[in-house]
Chain A
C-alpha cells in the first residue's frame, strides 16, 4: 500500500519505514511476468540486528547502531557539525554555490518526481522522490542550524533530529544513482542529485560513513594498492599479457601493448575492472589504436592503470587525491593528452569535475574515447566491414558521458557506420535513463542490495532494453552497447537476474568490441553470442 510519507516521517520509529509489497513494482512484459510478484528478499535478522536497517527493504551501508545515549548524542552533534561545514567556503568551496542555490529555491512542485527512474520503478514510493531527501536536509538545516529555526520550523516544515533520522538519511542517500535526470526537468534548475551528493559527502568527510565497496575497498584501496580491484601494477601487466594473447587469436597477428612510453601522444586510462571482467574491451582498444597508427601508452604505475575515481560519488577529498594522481602520472609521462576509456564516471571525474582542481602542468588535456574513436572510424583510419555486425544493436547512454558531458553524437555516428541494425532506446541522449548501477550501485552488493538494484533501480533500463528490441524475434541475438564499465556491470546483472540471455537472447558489451568485430581484416569475430560466433568467414 502506498501510505504517504512526509519528510518528517524519517524520524518516526518503525521497523521498516517503506516496504515494497510483491506486485507493487511496475509490471514487466512477457516473458518476464513471473517476476512481477517477486519481492526483495527479506534482510536476515541476525545480519541486521546491530545496524541501521529500518528505512526500507535493503541496506547499502550498514551503519552500526550507537551503543548508548551518549554515543547517539555525539553522532547527532557530529552530523550537525558536518552539515554546517557543507555551507562553509573553506570546507566546501567545490560545491558551495550549486548547493546553496539548490537548497534555497525549491518550489516543491514535484515535477522532478516523474523524471526519476527509481521513484517510478519503486512503485512511486515517497522516500524515492528526488526532493524527499533534499527536503529532509533542508528542514534539518533550517531548524537546527539557522537562528530561531526551532520556532520557524513550525511554519516552514518540521523534523525531529535523532539517530534514526540521521542513519536513515545516510542510507537514503544510497537509493539515488546521482543520474541527475531530475535536475534536467526542474523548471527552476534545482538539482536534487547534487543535494544527495552533498549528503553523502557530509557522512563521509565528517563522520567516516560510506559503503565499504566505495571507500575501504574503493578509493582507499585505489590509493594504497593502485586499483579498486586490488590489482597491483605487476598483476595489471600480467593480465594485459594474457589479453594480448587472446587478441592475437582474433587478429591473427601481433598486438602491441605499449607500457609507460614517455612522450607518447596519448595516455589511455581504462577502468581496471575491464581487465578482469571484460578483457576483450581493453584488448579491442589496443587493436584499434594499433591499426589506426596512434602513438599511445598505458601506465603501469599504481593508479595509472585504473581510471576510476569513486570519490566522485561521495567524497571530494578522496576524489581530489585520485584525480591528482591520475594527472601527475600523465604529467610525468609527458603525454599530449589523456584519453579516458569506456568508463562513464571516470570520464566525468577527470574531464569535467577535476577540471577546476588541476592547475599548471597537472592540467593536461583530457578527451573522451568516444571522440578519439570517432576520429578513427569516420576518418577511415581502419578498414571496416559493417555487415559483420548484422544483428540488432541498441545503445545505452551512460549518464556521466551524455547528460553530464554532452558527449552524445560521436558514439552514435560510429554505430550508424558500423552497426546496420542499430536502433535507439526511448528516451535516449541527454534524457536517457540510468542503468541503475550509477554512483557506485553496480559494485555494491552487500546484504540484499544487488537484488534491490536489479528489481528497482535497474528496472527502468531493463524495460527500455526490452522495448528497443520488441520487434525482434526471440531467437535473434541482440546486443546492448554500453560504453561504460559500471553500466556494463549493471546490465550484465540485469541480464543474469532475469535470465534474459535465455529468454530474449540479450547480450551486452562495449563500443570498441563492436568496432573490432566489424574490422575487415580480423580473423575471428570478437563478439560471440554464447557459443555462437557473431560472424563466420
Chain B
C-alpha cells in the first residue's frame, strides 16, 4: 500500500504544481507586445516568409485573419518532434529527440494502461480475455511501452554522454542537470530491466495502474515486491511525476505559453477592447523603482509617471 500512497502523493504534487504554473500564467498582467516573426497563426502566405498583418495598408481597418489551427499545426510537431532542434542543432537532436519522444511514449503508455484498467473494471464482454479490443490494447501497450523504454534509454544515456563530453554543454551544466538526467535514466533503465525480466506485456504495470484506480484494493492491487527493478521503476516514475513540474523540465508543456503568450502574441490593442481595459489597469499600478529619473514614490502610478512630461498627456 505504501507504493500507492507514494504514487498518489506524487500525482497530487504533479497536479498542484502544474495547475499552479498554469494559473500563474493565466493571471499574469497583460504585458507589452514582444512577438517575434514568423508568427504561426498568420495566413499561410505570410507564415512562409514571416510576414505580419502590419504589412497591410491601414491594417487596423481590416479584419485580422488569424488561424489558431496554424499555431497548433506548428506547435504539435514542434513539441512531439522538437523540429526547432532538428533545424538548428541537429547533433543534439539525435539524442534529445529519443529522450523526449521516449517520455511522450511513456505518457501515452500510461494513458493506454488507464484505458486498459478502465475497461477491465467496466467488466463488459467486449473486453473479455481474447476479445479483439483487449488484444489490440495489449498490443498497443506493448509497442508503446517498449518503444518508449528503448528510445528513453537511448535518449537519456545519449544526453548524459553529450552533456558530459561536449565542453560546450559541460561548461554550463550544474550538478542538478546531471541529477535530472540520471534520475530519468534510472526510471527508464529499471523499467526496461523489469520488462526484460519476464514481463514483455507490461503485466506488472497493468496491475499497478489497476491498483491505482481502485485505491490499492488488495484484490486488484499489484505489489511490486517481486523484483528490485519493478520497485525502482514504480518509485522513480512516481517521484519523476512530482519532480518534473517543479523544475525547468516543465518546458515540455510550458512551451505552449512561451510560444502562444509571448512569441506569437501579436494581438493589437483596439480602442474599447479587452486589452485596453487590462492596460488601463496596469497603468494604475504604482512602481517603486529607485533611480532618480523615474520619480517613483510608491504613490504615483505608471500613468502619472509616463505623463510626467510638461505636456498634458494625462488623460
Contact residues in A for B57 (Cβ distance below 8 Å): 367, 371-372, 374-375
Cβ B35 vs Cβ A404 within 8 A: yes
With known contacts A207-B291, A328-B311, A360-B315, A102–B258 Cβ distance under 8 A: yes
Verify if A157 is at the interface (C-beta below 8 Å from B): yes
Chain B residues with CB below 8 A from A184, complex form? 36
Contact in complex: B50, A408 (CB < 8 Å): yes
Contacts of A323 in B (CB 8 A): 306
Answer whether residue B219 sits at the interface, using C-beta atoms and an 8 A cutoff: no
Specify which chain A residues have a CB less than 8 angstroms from the CB of B35 in the assembled complex: 352, 404, 406
Q: Which of A97, A318, A408 contacts B55 (CB 8 A)?
A: A408
Within the complex, what minimum Cβ distance (angstroms) separates A323 from chain B?
8
Interface majority SS (helix, strand, loop, mixed), chain A: helix
> From residue A105, how far is it (CB to closest CB) to chain B in Å?
4
Contact B28 A97, beta carbon cutoff 8 Å: yes
**Given the contacts A321-B309, A371-B56, A111 and B92 also touching, CB distance less than 8 Å:** yes
Segment with Cβ contacts to B, from A38-46, A81-89, A501-509: A81-89
Distance in angstroms between the alpha carbons of A156 and B172 in the assembled complex: 11
Count residues on chain B whose CB falls below 8 Å from chain A CBs.
91
- The verdict on A410 contacting chain B, using a C-beta distance below 8 Å, is yes
Q: A96-B31, A189-B263 are in contact. Are A317 and B293 (CB under 8 A)?
A: yes
Contact indicator B36/A90 (Cβ below 8 Å): no
- A154's nearest neighbour on chain B, judged by CB, is B175
Complex contacts, A109 vs chain B, CB 8 Å: 85, 89, 92, 96, 169
Which residues of B lie under 8 Å from residue A131 when comparing CB positions?
172
- Given the complex, which residues of B lie within 8 Å of A4, measured CB to CB? 167, 171
Closest Cβ of chain A: how far from B164's Cβ, in Å? 13
**Which B residues, 242 to 280, have Cβ-Cβ distances below 8 Å to chain A?**
248, 250-251, 254-255, 257-259, 261-263, 266, 268-271, 275-276, 279-280
Query: Does A430 have its Cβ within 8 Å of any Cβ on chain B?
Result: yes
| Pairwise interchain contact B305-A180, C-beta atoms closer than 8 A | no
Q: In the bound complex, what is the Cα–Cα distance between A231 and B92 (angstroms)? A: 53
Residues of B68-93 at the interface with A, using a CB-CB cut-off of 8 Å, are 78, 82-85, 87-89, 92
The answer to whether the Cβ of A250 comes within 8 Å of any Cβ in the partner chain is no
Query: Which residues of B lie under 8 Å from residue A188 when comparing CB positions?
Result: 84, 251, 255, 258
Question: Does A185 have its Cβ within 8 Å of any Cβ on chain B?
Answer: yes
Q: Once bound together, how far apart are the Cα atoms of A408 and B311, in whole Å?
A: 36
Contact A110 B50 (CB under 8 A): no
Question: B67: CB under 8 A from chain A?
Answer: no
Contact with B along A376-420 (1 / 0, CB 8 A): 000000000000000000000000001111111110000000000
Bound-state Cα–Cα, A396 to B155, Å:
41
| Docked-complex contact B55 and A317, CB < 8 angstroms | no
| Least CB distance, A141 to chain B, in whole angstroms | 13
Whether the Cβ atoms of A189 and B259 lie closer than 8 Å is yes
CA distance A358 to B303 in the complex (A): 10
- Give which listed residue, B50, B59, B279, contacts A402 with CB less than 8 A: B50
From residue A332, how far is it (CB to closest CB) to chain B in Å?
9
In the complex, are the beta carbons of B32 and A408 less than 8 A apart? no
User: Is A126's beta carbon under 8 Å from chain B?
Assistant: yes
29 A-B contact pairs sorted by A residue (CB < 8 Å): A97-B261, A101-B262, A105-B251, A113-B168, A114-B89, A156-B176, A157-B174, A180-B36, A187-B89, A189-B255, A189-B262, A191-B36, A191-B263, A317-B306, A320-B305, A321-B307, A325-B311, A327-B313, A328-B312, A357-B32, A359-B315, A363-B269, A405-B54, A406-B53, A406-B54, A408-B51, A408-B55, A430-B37, A430-B50
Q: A93-B29, A96-B28 are in contact. List 17 more A-B contacts (CB 8 A).
A: A94-B32, A95-B34, A101-B25, A105-B258, A110-B169, A155-B176, A155-B179, A156-B175, A185-B87, A188-B255, A207-B290, A317-B306, A321-B308, A324-B309, A352-B35, A367-B54, A407-B54
**3 tightest A-B contacts by CB?**
A406-B52, A189-B258, A187-B84
Question: Interface on A for B, CB 8 Å cutoff?
Answer: 4-7, 78, 81-82, 85, 89-91, 93-98, 100-102, 104-111, 113-115, 126, 131, 135, 154-158, 180, 183-191, 194, 204-208, 215, 220, 223, 317-318, 320-321, 323-325, 327-328, 337, 351-363, 365, 367-368, 370-372, 374-375, 402-410, 429-430
